[in-house]
Structure 1
């Protein structure tokens, strides 16, 4: 019944940066060797030449450090991270300019002591008797709460429900009022070290999920073509530690603190910026067609005898599968697109896949390109404020799923998209086996 996000997992992240905040790089912001999440993608993963040459949007790769970084153990609560030393002698720590320093939020506005960086400290401690009473009673009211929600949804489905109701869905979340046994000690003692011992595995678990999301193509694209991922923590998870303590833990792994927009139960967010991938090794539109069966070539289509049954029966098994697995937390942001490309067929793609004709596939790809291009060009330029460069240029983006070009191949879809000015998006590592991300330069 407890929220599984409140249970920590094994620590899979090293601290081996010189300043104690990175993942294994000497400068504290890398991700270690290739193969780790967020690492520089391998060069030319498809065994083809890189016709695009150097990516103008790629981030430079720092040169290797001559002196390996020494691991730094986690600092005790309230301690400041050590200053990195040089093999040529000691140096004075740099002093930040006064105008660049963040102004702390006044403690009177937050009701809690202010900490460096503007993040509040520990929240008021809860009454021990109230905590114990809640912990004992939750094993009774939580199951009843869940049963009540099931009955309520059944009544709404059978009745003439008009869609009205509360604006917030907080009353649906039983886990918000549930105290896991692993958090009980921290709630009772109120000591910051106990809260840090509890919340550190929670943060590690969410960092792993966020970085897996980035590796699968998630995150918000920025003006430098890098992507930013973030996650939030509710105050019940770090009450005795404070938002400043959460930010301090996140900085060990290269994340920084950010305040969420608006008001809500999430009082602190951790954010990390990942640079754009270097070297988009992919075939150019004018290159010879990719061979069938390769990642950029045509993929095998389903049997023409099986396809009509899939087309009819998907009306039944798609809702059943969705309702039976909606509660599963899937780190892949495009899971349903991949699942749909395998187990469903759309009305527009039915003819192309049924006949497996190159002309039918070309008509289908062009139809989807025309639809997505018209939709994207209808968006106002003001909606691209976060991805607009200082000179006023920005990239419009569309995405073609595998089901759109299965029988024609990703390279054929890239060639047809180039006719309308679309190119591979340099903010993403190419993944032709699942989708094709395209961009088109525009100016405000």
Structure 2
């Protein structure tokens, strides 16, 4: 089968650049260097030597009035104030986070710990039988909420929490909560590194963590916030939700955007911005058929098992699945087919019923889309950037470019879009 890629020849993505988008409207690469939306770093202050202490007078001049007391310097605002969260001024204090909750009855805790080894397996078995019955009965109604009785672990007391429940001492609760909090924070920061988080008007991103009351009952929300602040996080007001404590962290916009310009020569094949190797074409029909079986099974397993990589589905799917839209482009490996596929995905994402829009620093609405690796595998991220630039898209300054896995783009939203 002929390969239409043609790297290094007179056609394809390895050829010299074709001026298909006209002359460059700017003289330098807008994607390299300093991010205009990044927070400025204050210059280091020069060292000022202290003045020599004046010689002490033998008879100091008398002071007719005592010197007025110096006013304390104003304290800088708490970092949580910019997100509408009150500072943790103390347990139960004004504007602070609540302290420890009332202790549970020791006898009830012991009974729950002993009986859970009996009812927890029966609980799981009942859920499995229920789902089997629903599948065999071809049930099409709304399923039960996964936030309710489906979570068996919510009624389970692990042995490491039993001591904290029985003693009620804050130091025992802190030993239990600290590892849980570290895992939640690590997962949230991994989500940020994979492109998660809510984009803010300053193009920084905020990620959050929520802990249930059963995990910190004897420590209190104030104690959890204190542990989080030592890791660079802060507490957020939970409002009427007294059963959880909310934490957040603000990450500024990346300082630099190291990426080629759409008018630069095409990136070489095999480089992060260049075309990537495609899969063996005769195997693609079998992959397309077999993924109907193993893709749903994998998706069901990932609902119960948390992976440290939040974008693992996108990366795994780009390697072991093929979409119906990308099948022809990857099967023929033709530059024209890849270009058509990229333009089709751009048009689909631009015309969504509910597009992703956020405010920019100047107050305008910006439309944001996310191109996955499978969209431009054989064409390369640089070619996708060239096609998107012709439609007004640019690299999103709120994200660090990751061309080997995804491409995040933005452009001003149309006036008719919400």
Q: Which residue of 1 aligns with 2:382?
A: 411
1:37-436 → structure 2 map (5 Å cutoff): 52-62=32-42, 94-95=74-75, 114-115=92-93, 117-164=95-142, 166=144, 169-260=147-238, 263=241, 265=243, 267-375=244-352, 379=354, 384=357, 387-389=358-360, 391-436=362-407
Q: Give distance in 1, aligned partners of 2:342 and 2:105.
A: 63
Q: Give distance in 2, aligned partners of 1:63 and 1:221.
A: 27
The Cα RMSD (Å) is 2.9
1:421 and 1:262, CA in 2 relative to 1: closer, same or farther beyond 3 A?
Answer: farther
TM-score (ref. length: structure 1): 0.74
Residue 103 of structure 1: CA displacement? Answer: 10
Residue 441 of structure 1: CA displacement? Answer: 2.4
1:94 and 1:143, CA in 2 relative to 1: closer, same or farther beyond 3 A?
Answer: same
Residue 379 of structure 1: CA displacement? Answer: 4.1
More displaced 10-residue stretch of structure 1: 158-167 or 192-201: 158-167
1:55–1:426 Cα contact (<8 Å) kept: yes
Residue 66 of structure 1: CA displacement? Answer: 8.9
1:316 and 1:441, CA in 2 relative to 1: closer, same or farther beyond 3 A?
Answer: same
1:171 and 1:393, CA in 2 relative to 1: closer, same or farther beyond 3 A?
Answer: same
Long gaps (5+) in structure 1: 1-48, 68-90, 106-112
Q: Give distance in 2, aligned partners of 1:316 and 1:204.
A: 36
Q: Give distance in 2, aligned partners of 1:103 and 1:58.
A: 23
Residue 201 of structure 1: CA displacement? Answer: 1.5
The higher radius of gyration belongs to 2
Residue 160 of structure 1: CA displacement? Answer: 3.7
1:277–1:427 Cα contact (<8 Å) kept: yes
2:86–2:237 Cα contact (<8 Å) kept: no
Aligned-partner SS, 1:305: helix
Question: What count of residue pairs does the alignment treat as equivalent?
Answer: 359
Q: Which residue of 2 aligns with 1:79?
A: none
TM-score (ref. length: structure 2): 0.79
Q: Give distance in 2, aligned partners of 1:299 and 1:247.
A: 45
More displaced 10-residue stretch of structure 1: 189-198 or 138-147: 189-198
1:115–1:121 Cα contact (<8 Å) kept: no
